[in-house]
Amino acid sequence: MLRDVPFGWYATSMFALVGLTLVETRGVGAGGPKATHLAEAVTLALYYIALTGFCRSFLSITRWRRLLDGLTLPVLGAIVALIFVEKVTGWRGYGYVLDEVLQAALLVLLFVRGVAARDQGFAPARFYLIAFVFAAAGILINDLNLHGVIFPHQNLTRAFDAGIALEALLFALALADRNRALSALIRLDGLTGIANRRSFDGALARAWDRSRRSHSALGVLMIDVDHFKRYNDTHGHQAGDEILRRVAEGVEAAVLRPDDVAARYGGEEFAIVLPLAEGEASRLVGERVRVNVRALAIPYPEAPTGIITVSVGVASTRPAESGVSPGKLLESADAALYQAKREGRDKVVLAPLERSTPDPAIR
């Protein structure tokens, strides 16, 4: 978590807000008014710096980034400089006007950054934008009250506190949403968008433990695109990548239950984990994969079928009874896959699994 830059900026902004509240309510003790004003300047400046740092690091934008940075950073620098001038020297110059203009400019620029991130597909930006709406509302109500525009005989400084508190809460939700999205990306294959090898290994381990405890069956499918290397060499890697993306769609469409996991195993190979699936049920899923890919009718003139096809190897076992290890189950599915290829490809073969010596890990 400490390596998470947005979280670091967020934590710093919260630390600065707590420090500013303590300084404003209790002062700094023996240092007197000057020390209090200096502490106020440091904590307030730190808050604005941390807020800007959070927004810049949290939001993923490609377009407009350089322009927005070029506008935001000078405004931030002016705000920090003005804070120290006012707090340390007591200079007011144009009163609160310059303060409010610079604050409004910074908030607008940071809000525009959120809009840009949202438009470019960064989903967590929605919490970010709602947070800014609450913060801006609190600041606006507070400023209008201070200038006697609304409720001149009441003190509405709590509106500012409420706006900032809601902003902090929504920023926390935005961080959680971002981390969830990043976790999902880590589990997905970058090319095809389905689960990757790491996800498959985890799903197999979980399904294996579950099947062993419940004495239930577990099926595994290994799937390979027929004549893929020749297609890649003939039509190029970009065309090959497009084939893998489309085949992945057919593979994923074949799994219908929430606990079934379809993944890209590596290269042109895909794999499926099927908890609670006996051999024939697993074979039927393999057949569904084969039919789905054929139905895509992806042209492959050099292939005997004229279209892209897949071969599927299937293996199923009951871990608590067979003594077969996870590795042996995968080997059996892989052997069935190559048997399908030897028999002419575009086939589904179910492996015969024999009882073996129990693996020490499952005794």
Residues 242, 328: Cα–Cα separation, whole Å: 32
Q: Name the catalytic one among 86, 167, 268, 321.
A: 268
167 is catalytic: no
Which residues are catalytically annotated? 268
